[in-house]
Structure 1
Amino acid sequence: MAQKEIHEILDDKLAEVRKNASADKLFLYNGGLYPTMICCPETLKILDTFKARSDDVVLVAYPKTGDNWVGQILTELEVASGKYDEEERKRRQKNEKELALFPYLEFGDPEKFERLEKLPSRRIIKTHLRIQNIPKSVFQQKAKILVLLRNPKDTAVSYFHFAKGMNLTSSQKTWDEFFTDFINGEVPYGFYFDHIIEWNKYLDDKNVMFITYEEIKEDPVLGLKRIAEFFDFSVTDQDIQSIAEKTSFKAMKDRAPKTHGKVGETLFRKGLVGDWKNVFSEGQSEEMDKKFEEHAASTKLGKMLKYEVYCKN
């Protein structure tokens, strides 16, 4: 019997969670919250057994900062760069489909790491994990890491809708309640500003690149060129233009029913910059401003977020 694809697995799990409304939606592991729907303690316990390769393409992003979008961009760049012949292309597609790889390091069953070993290079590895939880081999092998950031107000709003749609929180939880959880780091993967603070230590690491959601939205072609150059993807300007069009929000949302099943309805909502203005109260906006000032404003990555441009009325 053929293995299910990831979106089919997620659809099944989502239906299961909705049927069992009283089940625990989150679990605590090593002081952090994780979604029961897609993570399990057994996998987290053996994360460090993951064997990174020096040519792995690693994407690190806090939830709802644009990782699904940028992950697809990386996949398209890798395919265009590979220039595989028809036989090799089919082999790679068959391998990935048969292995039913969960797209994030921390997702899925413990046996996934054995399946990861069988994947051909270059592998695209994604994770929401904080630095201290990322497998040590990623740094030991000097794999190149793309760190994706997004303005915290849009991140919070997108996270709220995602959490509701995926039943990561109670369906009765209001935006006001979620905002309180988010601002206090009581959501899966913790306090967003901690991620920003921690990655500041890697600013001078030549194997780490930082980019923002807003930067790519403003100029997708330039953003894709920067990413391609960092990972040494051999692509033409025509490839870049084609991928920018193929990975536009509208194009990905239109394909979502086929590529992501029912989960696509939650993953692809608006894809806008500045939607927070329709949701935040004045008090919430001021509270987020204060948190940003306290934790990230003075850091280089905090400045990269252009908070004054994207998070002020």
Structure 2
Amino acid sequence: MSMEKMLWEYKGFCFPPGVTKETLDALPSFQVRDDDIVVASFPKTGTNWLFEIVAKILRAAGKTDSSADSLISPGPMEIKLLTGTRPGYLMLADMPSPRLVITHLPIHLAPKGISKPQNKVKVLVPMRNPKDTAVSLYHFHNKLIKLKGVTDNVSWEEFARNFTRKVPFGPFDEHILGWWQMRDDPHFLFLKYEDMKKDLLSAVKNIVAFLEVDLDESTIKGIAEASTFTNMKPDLDNSKLAERQAVARKGIIGDWKNIFTPEQSKAFDTWYEEKFAGTGITFDFE
């Protein structure tokens, strides 16, 4: 089945079937709590990785005793997971504070309490180079459609052709640039996947400082060590949630070179230059 046929459009963005118009209409007025911590991301840019790190920090600081699995069980607020009975935002409403909230929504469709946060709300935005994001999303998409019982995979050729214009929660460039407008707002922390791979300890220190929790050096080192891809993959693979088991694959920078043809790479480079030149966003591609 072609990917385009699975997606539907709402206010200029594309959505998978797990997101409904009813949910998108309801979300602008979703009540954000003062101690909510939000991960606002384009899919496959490091969402679960960042979520795990935040959950570990909150546990170490004594702010929660919930497991990462139970904290993440609502899934992204706009999606009804395959394993879920209700969309994430309805499940979040019943959860105790502090809540960890995930959204893949573009900024103008997100709840006002997230797009224009007040008081102590914290929003973390991971970003990843679009070539690796495309490859990761391609593999994830094919795993998810298998969970739904669809047997024919989307081809890489079709996916690569569509990624720059018609992709779940995209267009990618508009999604990233929408959130990027908030880079000077102190409620936001932007993190690049590639920087986290190269120096996870620094990233964890930044997150701890941003969340304003008090942890000693050895605890922070322990969290960074436990949050490497190799150490985290077994937790994700053995999660009770089917969607989460599909999340971790390779977790590397530059995996795009194993699948992109020279023509596809050139087409992406042209698009990337056109959309991101002069925005202040630069990505490492290897």
User: What TM-score bracket applies, with the shorter chain setting the length?
Assistant: 0.7 to 0.9
- SS of the aligned residue for 1:268 comes to coil
- Tell me by how many angstroms 1:240 deviates: 1.5
- Preserved CA contact (<8 Å) 1:101 1:116: no
How many correspondences in the alignment?
274
Distance 2:73 2:241 in 1: 16
2:118 corresponds in structure 1 to 141
Distance 2:153 2:86 in 1: 32
- Preserved CA contact (<8 Å) 1:197 1:295: no
Which range is displaced more, 136-145 or 257-266?
257-266
2:184 corresponds in structure 1 to 204
Distance 2:40 2:87 in 1: 22
Higher radius of gyration, 1 or 2: 1
1:152 corresponds in structure 2 to 130
- Preserved CA contact (<8 Å) 2:42 2:176: no
Distance 2:258 2:232 in 1: 24
1:288 corresponds in structure 2 to 268
Letter of the 1:103 counterpart: G
**Match 1:167 to one of 102, 122, 145:** 145
- SS of the aligned residue for 2:246 comes to helix
Distance 2:107 2:232 in 1: 29
- Tell me by how many angstroms 1:177 deviates: 0.7
Letter of the 2:78 counterpart: E
Distance 2:180 2:242 in 1: 37
> 2:64 matched to 1:64?
no
Q: Write the deviation string for residues 8-29 of structure 1: whole angstroms up to 9, x where unpaired.
A: xxxxxxxxxxxx99xx743333
- Preserved CA contact (<8 Å) 1:43 1:110: no
- 4+ runs of 1 displaced by more than 6 Å? none
Letter of the 1:35 counterpart: P
Residue 100 and residue 64 in structure 1: after superposition, are their counterparts in 2 closer, same or farther (change >3 A)?
closer
Mapping for residues 148-297 of structure 1, pairs under 5 Å: 148-167=126-145, 171-184=152-165, 186-260=166-240, 262-297=242-277
2:59 corresponds in structure 1 to 79
Letter of the 2:129 counterpart: N
Letter of the 1:174 counterpart: S
Distance 1:267 1:136 in 2: 28
2:108 corresponds in structure 1 to 132
Q: Indicate the percent of aligned positions where both proteins have the same amino acid.
A: 34
**Match 1:106 to one of 65, 78, 82:** 78
TM-score normalised according to structure 2 size: 0.86
Residue 28 and residue 175 in structure 1: after superposition, are their counterparts in 2 closer, same or farther (change >3 A)?
same
Q: Which consecutive unaligned segments of at least 5 residues does structure 1 have?
A: 1-19
Residue 211 and residue 171 in structure 1: after superposition, are their counterparts in 2 closer, same or farther (change >3 A)?
same
Residue 83 and residue 200 in structure 1: after superposition, are their counterparts in 2 closer, same or farther (change >3 A)?
closer
**Match 2:24 to one of 44, 61, 77:** 44
- Tell me by how many angstroms 1:110 deviates: 5.9
Which range is displaced more, 109-118 or 282-291?
109-118
- Preserved CA contact (<8 Å) 1:164 1:170: no
- Preserved CA contact (<8 Å) 1:62 1:195: yes
- Preserved CA contact (<8 Å) 1:44 1:106: yes
Residue 107 and residue 216 in structure 1: after superposition, are their counterparts in 2 closer, same or farther (change >3 A)?
same
C-alpha RMSD of matched pairs (Å): 2.7
